[in-house]
Amino acid sequence: MDIPKGYERMFALVTEVPKRNSNPALLEIGCGEHGHFVDYMRQQGWDTVGLDNREPLSQFVSRGDASKLRDVFGDKLFDLVLANQVLGYAPMTNDLIGVGRDEFAWIKAALLCHAGPDIKKDLDNMVKDLIKKILGSTFQQLSPDGLLIACGSDAIFEQNYFTQSEAEAVGYHVIDFKPSEAVLQKPR
Ligand SMILES: C[S@@+](CC[C@H](N)C(=O)[O-])C[C@H]1O[C@@H](n2cnc3c(N)ncnc32)[C@H](O)[C@@H]1O
């Protein structure tokens, strides 16, 4: 099995992290219904599960909201939480307005293109707010010293849509911060 397309950089980042224990627990949020990368990591011997708000098509993917991880995982802690092309503006906007999910997707996308500045600002705030909640929810679910790795891509709309100071405000120690990738640590 090859690295699923679009996950090359994420895989490099994950494998750069020194394993602190022999069997680290990994959670991928927004892994898609199939959880291809979850399967790939499991095949590589990592104890990995995934979560998506779409109907899961894999036994290793749970359905749930990344901003409410406790509802799905309770007190379980993870050593690594991964988000690949999830915490960017475009993926979150698409998710909020349901683009790509139903027969009205193209109408919603067209309406958004023509929306006035007030609507765009409201949407912007909703996306920022949701991402902030997700950062808080992953923080809660990480073990001390655990890492959240967020990757976008080189495409401008898939850059991570939070700032270094927003991550710090949640409590994270920022290990690395670039427009399209961030490595954040929950302090001990
Ligand atoms: C752009 S896709 C990326 C999918 C996959 N990670 C990849 O890189 O190919 C964003 C994914 O995040 C999921 N998602 C968006 N918002 C979510 C939320 N609040 N909770 C859980 N999953 C979410 C979507 O259903 C979708 O599968």
pLDDT tens digits, residue range 3-39? Answer: 999 999 999 999 987 776 778 999 999 999 999 999 9
Quick one: pLDDT at residue 154?
67
- The pLDDT of residue 186 is 97
> Separation of 150 CA from ligand 1 center, angstroms?
12
The reported pTM is 0.95
Q: What are phi and psi for residue 165, nearest 5 degrees?
A: -70, -30
**pLDDT tens, residue by residue, 141-175:** 999 999 999 998 766 667 999 999 999 999 999 99
Q: 8-85+133-185: what CATH class? A: alpha beta
For ligand 1, pick from 5, 8, 52, 127 the residue to mutate: most ligand atoms within 8 Å of CB: 52
Summarize the confidence of residues 43-47 as an average pLDDT: 93
Distance between CA atoms of residues 39 and 60, nearest Å: 8
Give the ligand 1 atom nearest the CA of 10: 8
- Residue 155 confidence (pLDDT): 67
**What would the pLDDT profile of 97-119 be if each residue is shown by its tens digit?**
877 777 888 888 888 889 899 99
Angle formed by the axes of helices 36-43 and 8-16, nearest 10°: 40
Taking residues 46-75, report their average pLDDT: 96
Give ligand 1 pocket residues (Cβ under 6 A): 6, 29-32, 51-54, 65-67, 84-86, 91, 95
CA distance 91 to 74: 26
Spatial distance between the Cα atoms of 52 and 54, rounded to a whole number of angstroms? 5
Closest-lying ligand 1 atom to the alpha carbon of residue 90: 1
Tokens of 72: 């799905």
Pocket test for ligand 1, best of 33, 67, 86 (most atoms within 8 A of CB): 86
- Nearest atom in ligand 1 to the alpha carbon of residue 88 is 1
Higher pLDDT, 70 or 152: 70
